[in-house]
Structure 1
Amino acid sequence: MILETFNKNVRDCKSVTINTDFVIVGGGTAGVCAAITAARKGTKTILVQDRPVLGGNASSEVRLWILGATSHMGNNNRWAREGGVMDEILVENLYRNREGNAVIFDTVLLEKVLAEPNITLLLNTSVYDVTKSGDHKIESVKAFNSQNSTEYNINAPLFCDASGDGIVAFKAGASFRMGAETKEEFGEAFAPEKSYGELLGHSMYFYSKETEKPVKYIPPAYALKDITTIPRYKAIGKDDKGCRFWWFEYGGRHDTIHETEEIKYELWKVIYGVWDYIKNSRTFEGVENMTLEWVATVPGKRESRRFEGLYMMTQQDVIEQRKFDDAIAFGGWAIDLHPADGVYSELSGCTQWHSKGIYDIPYRSFVSKDIDNLFLAGRIISATHVAFGSTRVMATTGFCAQAVGMAASMCIDKNLKPAEILENGEIKNLQNELNKIGQSIPNVPILSTSNLVNQAKLTSSSTLSISEIPFNGNWFNLSISAAQMLPLKVNKNYKVRVLVKAEEKTDLKVELKTSIKPENYTPEVILESQLFNLEQGEQYIDVEFSNTLENNQYGFITFLSNEKISIKTSDNRFTGVLSVFNGVNKAVSNNGKQTPPDNIGVDTFEFWTPHRRPEGKNIAMEISPAIEAFEVENLSNGYVRPGKTVNAWVADINDKKPTLKIEWDSEQELSEIKLFLDSDYDHPMESTLMGHPEDIVPFCLGNYKIKDVNGTVLFEKEDNHQTINTWHFKQKHKTKGIIIETEKSQTHVPVSIFEILIS
């Protein structure tokens, strides 16, 4: 029993002082990815999260799906899902939770964080103040946990603000902005006028479900009475739920920090009014047994403060795909701005303008220009309002924050300030360390000196050569144009034979297209166009192109739409080879072609996008000369996903037990072996609600053994589903070579590996 008598003084709460290497404030996707990355490099890290769960807007409290450069597979950014820890989390969630249950996703995030011994996690803990040891240096942060009534004083040499509203950077006095810049300040033609609004608002969602008997609904007094005050009310569907109602947005004309509670009440008013409309307006059939299952209690915030770093990203950086020497990640979501009036606006719920491909994101945008030991992460990084419209999305913020975690570890190890990473070649070291964990910084390979495979002789039991994509699939009707993407070689004249079926005499137009930039996948250049006169019925057509590519890059053999024609597809799938379609994806403002107004600084181009499995089959064809892009030398070229070419070794599809041998002239001491596998970087893997066609990507190598040349089994894996497999030797192993024995598990998919990294 505890008995304490009256005390005339104010009592103090329990107080705990913690000294650590690195403090991250904010446990959204950015904070989580930064913390895991830093911890795995040995950095003692405190992760402070003011909510009971991790994930921020992706958590079960808000339930927004995680997206980034893949953009629901609705843009031309092929193989663009974010790598590293962000990929690891999404792949694990796919394996455990392909249905997209937000509660299960909470457990995936929590498990990942708790598995790291170098992370101390403080949930339900709100940072409210900082102390400084000088004008430009933070000494500690102060936080309070209302659940255990404990105050924390956390001291560290380095801090990262990933809090969303930027509480640490704000309290520390760092320069920030709220609202949109003028067109003139950075020359951004898409900068919105004040009449459009300067801030993106908050959103809240609801889930409904079907029960076994009728359920009545009496709305609360504060529910919206007149549904017609929502201009888009006719877009409401009785079966829609969760973040499909992303456009339930409000607050863009308010202070999105200090008026958050008022914004929340308005969104509740909308939600309960919408449910009243669904249940009681007699507009919908079959709603008698439906009930509300969940309504958000926390709004998902889009925008508030943006802090100034050593560089501020702009619209031009995104649209023009500008290159940066200090690139540490890539983005690819559209510039996605919303009207300030949100759900009450007469305007479209969002205006999205895409670039032709992914773009670089520089390290400098994550380093405060004012506070020497402060990193920025999440949506508060140094970007204009327009560029923020792209960089703000969660897969991008998590991906970028991995660079912060890695940089923090380098700073601790070498006693550097964050800005000093830009000096003495340290940025190259940062880029290489990131790429070794799967970052895939555009046009920056893993350094050859990092990989013992570059000193070895590589041989394989077989290598894929595509002279035919077998004619074993179904028929695809060309009601929309279709194209086969292939990694083509420079100065080669390609010939293909395809099988088509015409309902009557008609014409088929076939084009060979490619991109202006070899690293892009926007087929904007027509190299050649041919017209074929078809008879009724099935027939082969031979297409021989006289024009050639100027670079080794992907080409598009396109078959233009004609609903009277169907084309034969294939059940065979290959790493780095896919079909794309000039269709429509309304979720990301893709109407088949981007046609922006004049003078907003955005390009006009067509969208050619894949279909989700099990659809989106390759187009069956014979190909001459054969596609030779899958050689074993790709295993050490430094790239761990397709780029200008496949960048993977792929075995022959008939090789059921492909084998790789890596041999050195002299004995080597091995510490680690890392395999980079194909988890289909083209698939977005939305974390919540969406649902996916499988729990293990069909390209991903599942079963393999690693032996030394003497036949000793070093490591063995069964039923793998992860992209990166890392094997550590307890003691350095001496050998002149290793053998990797793999097992083909998919009938129509050959074994593939992107990279083998041995140190």
Structure 2
Amino acid sequence: MIKEHASEGRQLRTLHYKSDLVVTGGGLAGVCCAITAAREGISVVLVQDRPVLGGNSSSEIRLWVLGATSHMGNNNRWAREGGVIDEIMVENTWRNPEGNPLIFDTILLEKVTNEENIRLLLNTAVFEVSKRSAGTIEKVKAFCSQNSTLYELEAPLFCDASGDGIVAFQAGAAFRMGAESKEEFGEKFAPTAEYGELLGHSIYFYTRDTGQPVTFVPPAYALKDITAIPRYKNINSNDHGCQLWWIEYGGRLDTVHETETIKWELWKVVYGVWNYIKNSGLFPEAETLTLEWVGQIPGKRESRRFEGDYMLRQQDIVEQRVHDDAVAFGGWSIDLHPADGIFSEKPACNQWHSKGVYQIPYRCLYSHNISNLFLAGRIISASHVAFGSSRVMGTGACGAQAVAMAAALCTRYGISPRDLLQEDRMKELQALLVRKGQYIPQLLTADKENIVNGAVITASSEYVLYNLHPDGHRISLSAAMAQMLPLKAGKIPVISIYADAAEDTLLQVSLRTGSKPVHHTPDLVLEELFIPLKKGTQKIPLQFTAILPSDNYIFLSFLRNDLISLHSSGERVSGIITVFNKTNPAVSNYGAQIPPEDIGVETFEFWCPERRPGGRNLALEIAEGIALFGVENLRNGIDRPTSQPNIWLAATDDADPRITISWPEKRRISKVYLSFDTDFDHPMENVIYHHPERVMPFCVRSFIICNDRKEPVFRSADNHQSARHITFDQPVETSSITVHLEGTHGGTPAGLFAIRCYE
């Protein structure tokens, strides 16, 4: 029993924690930052003011996680973010292909609590910042309402991933809210007043079919005049969850301090929309539907953006500019919304895509005037226009992983974030990020500690693409399509395909490639063929005289002709894919991007894959073969297809696919890192979408690592992840390491993007 006499007052219970890094904000950026840093051996306190992790991706808000893949609706091939965020998305697809948001919560919580270097504080809000000097944070104070405890969190380094920038704001970090003028950064797409100062908030709802009639009596505060929503005629009873992203409001308000006002307006709209669906008489199919869930807090898009030593801008995205300090990447469209949100007469979004992914500089990820403060998530240093792309969760998580690795190096060397701009330090940061699965476009790193670089690599076999066998299926040319194939610079080999013609007609073949090897937009036409076809089935050898100017993918493009269908193959090969010139209105893809004049955005066509279980390759024959799947790809530093496939594949008839890494003398191997193909083209949305496979077909099913005496030193029987980082309990003394690959999950040629070994 506890009994206390009356007193003049009492102090809250206060706990003091010291760590190497305090991360404020438990959204995906904060989660990936904390996990990455903890795995690098530094101590982390992760402070989250909500009862669950994930922020906008959590079950409280239920927004799908997206980044550069853009629902496979743009030309960014193999663009899913790597590292911890990839690990999370792959694991969610493995456990939760149905897209249950509650299961996603459990995965995030498990990933964080599995790390012994992380102290997690849920339901805990930071409310005060103490500084050691004008430019240095000493500690933050936070309060947990659930245990009535005050926390004082002290560290040499802080990361603000809180969305509104609560730590950065109180620390006095320079920030912006709203849109810059065209003149400040020369951004031609700097928005007009109607497209607003800020992007608003959204609240979603889920429905369920009960199988029997359900009545709905709206609450008194529900929006009564549905015609106040200009797009009310587009409302339908099938959409739910983040398909309702356009239920947005608040762009003309203070999206920090007026969030509660915005939330109430969104609740009015949500219940007004549902009342319209249930009671207008226009949706008889909704008779048995009921509301299963409505968001209690809004998903925020935009508030404060904090200034770093560089501000990402429109030109960085559109031109894919190169930065010496690139540490992450983006690829979502420049996606700005009207300030009036759902009450606007304007389109609900204004998306303009770039031709490929773009670099994010390290200078955007720390405050320029607070020396020990990192920035992560949507608050990084970017203009309002660039923020339209960088704000999405996959991109925010990618940048946060770079912050975490930077924090680990700062801890190791006792330096500040800005000190990592020194050339050798930056190269070390970039190499460490790539080692752990981060992809940095247009960057080749030298991992000096990877002893595979000085070894001899031999393989049991190497795949050569001679043919993809027909299996009776056809692809209609009711829409233009292309087979993407990697080639070295020079002449184009003869490629034979098979076609069916309903009557005599003309097949138009356009040989294309990208104008730059850093994107997959087929904007350079090398040659066109016009081939007469007879009615019936025929084999067609495609002979080109054009020269491929640089190592790159070609697009063997077949223009629309409703009379023709091409024979296809069910065979899948890593780095080989078909794309189609179709539309995807969900991401403003209408077959081609044709922007207004002088907004600084390029005109080009969209050529995008079909989602699985679609996405078949063409049946084809290549007499010379394409031999770009050799062992040297294992140490080229690129762990996904880019302008080349960058993967070693075994021959299809290889009964024991294996790679052997050999050294002239025995080495003490402590760690082996393997990089598998989990199809970086598949977006792996965590909610709404249902994925046809739990694991990607290209991924190796199981593997064994053996020493020079052919003794197994590691086995994995249920592999499904992109990156496997194996640390031996005791170093393995050996003059060679052999990795045996045992099948894939889709009957594809077995392979690896990389093997890295460390002493």
Q: TM-score range by the shorter chain?
A: over 0.9
Offset of residue 717 of structure 1: 0.7
Aligned-partner Cα distance in 1 for 2:290–2:665: 70
Aligned to 1:378: 377
Is residue 2:46 matched to residue 1:47? yes
Segment of structure 1 superposing worse, 364-373 or 442-451:
442-451
> After the TM superposition, which of the residue ranges 239-248 and 472-481 deviates more from structure 2?
472-481
Q: Which residue of 2 aligns with 1:434?
A: 433
Amino acid at match of 2:435: K
State the Cα distance separating 1:286 from its structure 2 match: 2.2
- For residues 216-227 of structure 1, what are the structure 2 equivalents within 5 Å? 216-227=215-226
| CA–CA distance in structure 2, aligned partners of residues 732 and 631 of structure 1 | 29
Structure 1 residue 719 displacement after superposition: 1.7
Partner of 1:515: 514
> How many angstroms apart in 2 are the aligned matches of 1:446 and 1:454?
12
What residue number does 2:335 align with? 336
- What residue in structure 1 maps to residue 661 of structure 2? 662
Inter-partner Cα distance in structure 1 for 2:217 and 2:746: 55
Deviation at 1:653, TM superposition (A): 1.6
Question: What are the residue-to-residue correspondences of 1:208-223 with 2, within 5 Å?
Answer: 208-223=207-222
SS for the counterpart of 1:209 is strand
- Separation of aligned partners in 2, 1:454 and 1:170: 45
Identical columns (%) = 54
1: CA distance, partners of 2:732 / 2:420: 34
Q: Determine helix, strand or coil for the equivalent of 2:130.
A: strand
Structure 1 residue 656 displacement after superposition: 3.4
Q: State the distance in 2 between where 1:745 and 1:37 align.
A: 28
Matched, 1:551 2:550: yes
Partner of 1:418: 417
Q: Match for residue 607 of structure 2?
A: 608
* TM alignment of 1:314-329, pairs within 5 A: 314-329=313-328
How far did residue 444 of structure 1 move? 2.5
Aligned residues: 758
Q: Is the 8 A contact 1:630 1:650 kept in 2?
A: yes
Counterpart for residue 462 of structure 2: 463
Corresponding residue number in structure 2 for 1:596: 595
Aligned to 1:17: 16
AA paired with 1:212?
Answer: G
TM-score with structure 1 setting the length: 0.99
In the TM superposition, what is the alpha-carbon distance from 1:228 to its structure 2 partner?
Answer: 1.4
Partner of 1:4: 4
Partner of 1:725: 724
1:342-378 deviations in Å (ceiling 9; x for gaps): 1111111100001111001000001101101100111
Contact 1:436/1:446 (8 A) holds in 2: no
In the alignment, which residue of structure 2 is the partner of 1:198?
197
- Equivalent pair of 2:24/2:48 in contact (CA under 8 Å): yes
**Structure 1 residues 473, 18: closer, same or farther in 2, change over 3 A?**
farther
CA distance in 2, matches of 1:393, 1:448: 30
Verify the 8 A CA contact 2:500 2:565 in the aligned structure 1.
Answer: yes
Gaps of 5+ in 1: none
Tell me the residue number matched to 2:479: 480
CA deviation vs aligned residue, 1:641-673 (integer Å, no higher than 9, x gap)? 111101100011222321222221111111111
Give unmatched runs, 5+ long, in structure 2: none
Q: Contact 1:252 / 1:342 at 8 angstroms: preserved in 2?
A: yes
- Partners of 1:133 and 1:747 in 2: CA distance: 57
Write the letter of the residue equivalent to 2:634.
L
> Which range moved further: 682-691 or 241-250?
682-691
Q: CA deviation at 1:747?
A: 6.3
Give the secondary structure class of the aligned counterpart of 1:170: helix
How far is 1:746 from its partner?
A: 5.0
Residue aligned with 1:450, SS = coil
Corresponding letter in the other structure for 1:218: V
Contact 1:473 1:571 in 2 (8 A): no
1:234-633 pair list within 5 angstroms: 234-633=233-632
Residue type of the alignment partner of 2:725: T
Per-residue deviation at 1:697?
0.3
* Equivalent-residue separation in structure 2 for 1:747 and 1:116 (angstroms): 32
Provide the C-alpha distance between the structure 2 equivalents of 1:745 and 1:728, rounded to a whole number of angstroms: 23
Matched AA of 1:533: P
Q: What RMSD over aligned residues (CA atoms) do the two structures have, in Å?
A: 1.0
**1:78-157 aligned within 5 A:** 78-157=77-156
User: 2:315 and 2:744 mapped to 1: Cα distance?
Assistant: 45
Query: 1:448·1:637 contact (CA, 8 Å) conserved in 2?
Result: no
Cα distance, 1:493 vs structure 2: 2.9
Match of 1:184 in 2: 183
For residue 745 of structure 1, report the CA deviation from its aligned partner: 3.9
- How far the C-alpha of 1:636 sits from its partner, in A, is 1.3
For 1:333 and 1:413, locate their aligned partners in 2 and report how far apart those are by CA, in whole Å.
34
Give the superposition deviation at 1:473. Answer: 5.0
Number of the residue aligned with 1:738: 737
SS at match of 2:710: coil
The residue type equivalent to 1:681 in the other structure is F
- Tell me how far apart the structure 2 counterparts of residues 567 and 261 of structure 1 sit (CA, whole Å): 56
Whole-Å separation in 1 of the counterparts to 2:685 and 2:272: 28
Quote the Cα distance in structure 2 between the aligned partners of 1:368 and 1:564.
60
SS of the residue corresponding to residue 617 of structure 2 reads: coil
Q: Partners in 2 of 1:460 and 1:291 — Cα distance?
A: 58
Q: CA deviation at 1:488?
A: 0.8
- Give the alignment's TM-score, normalised by structure 2: 0.99
How far, CA to CA, are the matches of 2:274 and 2:551 in structure 1? Answer: 55
CA distance in 2, matches of 1:564, 1:354: 32
Out of 457-466 and 329-338, give the one that drifted further: 457-466
